[in-house]
């Protein structure tokens, strides 16, 4: 297989796996937030900022992967 075709396969895998990983991570994080608020509602004000920080970090990984995929496609 030629190198150009392998670049497209690699970029597609990077896009797809990053999206799947972010979706799973955000889902698990959200479910645990809801579960912990249901158990102790008085801690909601303390849990919410931590949740937003975690979601931001979970969403940062696919953005980095998209940047690397574009690098593989257009530069490498």
Nearest to 11 by CA among 55, 19, 23: 19
Nearest to 70 by CA among 5, 3, 8: 8
Annotated catalytic residue within 46, 59, 60, 63: 59
| pLDDT at residue 2, as a whole number | 84
What's the pTM value of the predicted model, to 2 decimals?
Answer: 0.79
Mean pLDDT across 6-19? 92
| pLDDT at residue 23, as a whole number | 94
Mean pLDDT across 19-42? 95
Homologous superfamily in CATH for domain 3-74: F1F0 ATP synthase subunit C (1.20.20.10)
Query: Is residue 45 annotated as a catalytic residue, yes or no?
Result: no
Mean pLDDT across 32-54? 95
Contact 58, 22 (CB under 8 A): yes
Q: Quote the CA–CA distance of 7 and 71 in Å, as a whole number.
A: 10
DSSP 1: -
Give the pLDDT band of residue 63 (cuts 50, 70, 90). very high
């Amino acid at each position: 297989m030629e190198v150009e075709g392998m670049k497209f396969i690699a970029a597609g895998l990077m896009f797809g796996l990053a999206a799947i990983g972010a979706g799973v991570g955000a889902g698990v994080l959200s479910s645990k937030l809801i579960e912990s608020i249901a158990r102790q509602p008085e801690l909601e004000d303390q849990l919410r900022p931590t949740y937003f920080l975690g979601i931001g970090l979970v969403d940062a990984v696919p953005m980095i992967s998209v940047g690397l995929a574009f690098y593989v496609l257009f530069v490498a």
